[in-house]
Structure 1
Amino acid sequence: MLLVTSRQSKRWVIPKGNPMGGVTAHNAAAIEAEEEAGVLGLVCPTPLGSYRYRKRLNNGASLMVDVDVFPLAVNTELGAWKEQPERDRQWFTLADAAQAVDEPDLRDLIRSFGPDDFAAAAKRNTILQTVAAKSKVGHMFAWFQRLLPKTGNFFDLFEAHVVTVVAAADALARLLQDGNHDHIREIIERENDADEIHREVLRTVRQTFLTPFDRAAITSLIGSLDDAIDEMQAAVQAIDLYEVTSFDQDMKDMAAIIVDAARITFEAMPLLRNVASNGARLHELTERLVRMESHADDIHAAGLKRAFKRQDAGNAMGFIVARELYKHLERIVDAFEDVANEIDGIVIDHS
């Protein structure tokens, strides 16, 4: 997590500012991040939460301020930025970032972004660790095929699959931000890796006598995960077909939701190793995915309406292309909601 120092006291804070007229809250947050921290990326329109702190004004008054916090996936660090002479910036681990800030509510928000039990699960020396370090997962399947008929280690497969989903979501966000079609090839490669893992899960279900969950739950969960990355591939294939290089802000907002939904899903997967202990946290994560899907529906509707109004100016083909892209983006978010529903079902059955 990236923190910056405040101008006067030099304490560690997150970039923030006042509401901007005519600018949505999440886009205002992105502007502040660029000006104060010198970073660019897609910002999720759904806030993580809020915190309160006391701010001293230039006139001497000390007032309570409420801050909504939006996650921004950084993909560019600028060498020079507006407030560089006045601030330092530094990357922290989540635990260190929580310790570095002064505001108790913000500290809790940072901790909730990556709880200790998830960090411990993600650091286990499993196939996930190896997969995450490589650009492709296909080379690892000799290991999978030797181990899984004996152990039925579905958790490693779930976690390996979600690594590909997160990587594809990041590539999709970069594509919608800079229009570079090199990202399309990466998403297609990631989807191929995900297909290999999906097939391995289905083979393992047939070969394993005892499974951690109901067989239908296992196949439904991996199927929902695979649907998400399949729709990412469908989206970029449409972008490639129509040679689209610039994208509406509403599309970028939906892509930012997809990135955060993938991150939340990545957090949830290791927690399935112990549903009884992690049921409450899993339910919190799935609730957030459902809220994000509802928010994405609103953005989808607003984006389509704006695209349709452009049709009145003689851009009918532009509307057809935009409608197809919005359709794919909506389906990606819908797939993450399906993942949430599958996880909820497992929690209900096993917690």
Structure 2
Amino acid sequence: MLVTSRRTHRWVLPKGNRMKGLPPHAAAAQEAFEEAGIEGAACPAALGSYRYRKLLRTGASLLVDVDVFPLAVTGLLEEWPERAERERRWFPLREAAKAVDEVDLGQLIRSFRGSELASLDKRTAFLERLRGLKDGLRMFHWFQALLPQKGQFFELFEAHGQTLLAASGALTRLLQGGEGMGQHMREINEREEEADAITREVKRSVRRIFLTPFDRSAITGLISSMDDAIDEMQQTARATALFEVSAFEPEMRDMGAIIADSARLLGEALPLLRNIHANAARLHELTGRLVRLEGQADDIHAAGLKKAFKAHGAANPMGFIVARELFSHLERVVDRFEDVANEIDGLVIDHS
């Protein structure tokens, strides 16, 4: 999403100055709301930064450093504070990189890979077939007719990655609270069922297929760690329903944004497994970021628990117990993404 600047009408990212009392990612989300009418959850970990020279009203031209944060969009408003002052537009990544003037920003946009989006239509057909099948995944027999000697492990990995991406989006919307929470919980449950079906087929294929692309234990380790991540998303939704939670702490929403960004990174990494040798460097970058996101989530988890304890204390121990339960599930989701990163790192070491 790019917007036009107010004076020169060039294409820019929604952005602004840091705001007193708000962490940088929250200030970025506020600017996205004011300038582009976007609602969503901003990941606390910056994608990167760029520098540009800004012409001030005084006539001075000063260098400005800009940190860029990924934001999982949960709503697009028809009316917003600066609607009359700017144009907004969704761009494909390549076109957005060309539309901005700043070279470093263009590079940053290009690095925000869209492989999970580019493959979404292709994977959607796969998942639609998945939903209509009964008794597990007996329908995958036709896979064997197509390529019986190798199976369809890469397709299954990538399809599971799409369920993680969709479930993380539903979880992000759930953590915003408000209307539609029941629908978001239902979607998470449905996505988890799809993921279970894919996981079962991978494990059946490991037993049936003579020639596999990786060691059999590596295949089951990767798909199991992915499935554990979506299982914990489902547990978060179940705890929300059990305790009838309708509002969430900012730290919980921040962890949800980290989960959404982790799913995005995994969505890019999985197709690269088809040629590990050629993609080893990029895979290492992606898994490194997943590990760093887990470290940041740990810090947010600790800060959120401390805040909840101070807020509830002895006066409302049940309130603290509920908060701790939700924080624990969210932390375990991010931990499972780190497990996936470690599984991929192991494949890179073995095969690159």
TM-score (ref. length: structure 1): 0.94
The 5 A counterparts of 1:85-164 are: 85-114=84-113, 118=115, 122=119, 128-131=123-126, 134=128, 137-139=130-132, 141=137, 143-148=139-144, 150=148, 151-164=150-163
The Cα RMSD (Å) is: 1.7
8 Å CA contact 2:116, 2:162 repeated in 1: no
Q: Measure the CA separation in 1 of the matches of 2:254 and 2:201.
A: 34
Partner of 1:218: 219
Q: Deviations over 1:281-318 (max 9, x none)?
A: 11100000000000000000000000000123712110
Partner of 1:4: 3
Are 1:242 and 2:243 an aligned pair? yes
One-letter amino acid of the counterpart of residue 103, structure 1: E
4+ long deviations beyond 6 Å: none
One-letter amino acid of the counterpart of residue 176, structure 2: Q
Report the number of matched residues: 344
Cα separation, partners in 2 of 1:262 and 1:119, compared to 1, 3 Å: closer
Q: Measure the CA separation in 1 of the matches of 2:22 and 2:49.
A: 19
Cα separation, partners in 2 of 1:197 and 1:67, compared to 1, 3 Å: same
**Post-superposition offset of 1:32:** 0.3
Q: Measure the CA separation in 1 of the matches of 2:302 and 2:18.
A: 24
8 Å CA contact 1:227, 1:335 repeated in 2: yes
Partner of 1:48: 47
One-letter amino acid of the counterpart of residue 293, structure 1: E
Secondary structure (helix, strand or coil) at the match of 2:315 reads: coil
8 Å CA contact 1:148, 1:204 repeated in 2: no
Q: Deviations over 1:95-121 (max 9, x none)?
A: 111111111111111111016xx4798
Q: Deviations over 1:162-181 (max 9, x none)?
A: 11111111111111103422
One-letter amino acid of the counterpart of residue 300, structure 2: I
8 Å CA contact 2:277, 2:351 repeated in 1: yes
8 Å CA contact 1:254, 1:329 repeated in 2: yes
TM-score (ref. length: structure 2): 0.94
Partner of 1:286: 287
One-letter amino acid of the counterpart of residue 142, structure 2: R
Q: Measure the CA separation in 1 of the matches of 2:229 and 2:113.
A: 22
Q: Measure the CA separation in 2 of the matches of 1:342 and 1:152.
A: 20
Q: Measure the CA separation in 1 of the matches of 2:328 and 2:95.
A: 40
Q: Measure the CA separation in 1 of the matches of 2:321 and 2:139.
A: 46
**Post-superposition offset of 1:148:** 3.6
**Post-superposition offset of 1:143:** 4.9
Q: Deviations over 1:76-106 (max 9, x none)?
A: 1111111111100000001111111111111
Q: Measure the CA separation in 2 of the matches of 1:299 and 1:49.
A: 20
**Post-superposition offset of 1:185:** 1.1
Unaligned 5+ segments in structure 2 are none
Identity over aligned residues, as a percent? Answer: 60
One-letter amino acid of the counterpart of residue 266, structure 2: T
Partner of 2:38: 39
Q: Measure the CA separation in 2 of the matches of 1:300 and 1:119.
A: 28
Partner of 1:193: 194
Q: Measure the CA separation in 2 of the matches of 1:121 and 1:20.
A: 35
**Post-superposition offset of 1:73:** 1.2
Unaligned 5+ segments in structure 1 are none
8 Å CA contact 1:121, 1:270 repeated in 2: no
Partner of 1:306: 307
8 Å CA contact 2:74, 2:172 repeated in 1: no
Secondary structure (helix, strand or coil) at the match of 2:66 reads: strand
8 Å CA contact 1:131, 1:163 repeated in 2: no
Secondary structure (helix, strand or coil) at the match of 1:50 reads: strand
Partner of 2:164: 165
Q: Measure the CA separation in 2 of the matches of 1:8 and 1:59.
A: 14
